[in-house]
Homo-oligomer: A and B are copies of this chain.
Amino acid sequence: MNLGRVAGTLVASRKEPLMEGLTLLVVRQLDVDNTETGGYVVAVDAVGAGVGEIVMYASGSSARQTEATQNRPADAVVMAIVDTWDVDGETVYTK
């Protein structure tokens, strides 16, 4: 999985019917030191994440293993809101 910050939301009224009712989050990717990489992904929200929150997302077929995304054409899902992580003995982030 990768880390990201929820930067915003996306609205698409005309879409594949299987995507109806899902919240789409614009997620800026973070590196392991909690700085932005410049990359992003649009991911389905499976955990009720809000703008500004630090989250973890899964990609590819694994993104379809949540209740929200099963059998849907989604290749990225926010599946956790991060409390804290540490690297090399230092706490990088705490909610």
Q: How far is the CA of A28 from the CA of B36 in the complex (A)?
A: 17
- Whole-angstrom distance from the CB of A80 to the nearest CB of chain B? 4
Chain B residue numbers with a CB within 8 Å of A69 are: 73
A24 to B85, CA, bound (A): 9
Protomer copies: 5
**B65 x A72 contact (CB < 8 A):** yes
A-B contact pairs, 21 of them (CB 8 A): A2-B41, A7-B87, A8-B85, A8-B86, A8-B87, A10-B84, A12-B83, A13-B83, A16-B67, A17-B67, A19-B80, A24-B56, A26-B86, A26-B87, A32-B40, A58-B73, A60-B61, A62-B63, A62-B73, A64-B65, A65-B71
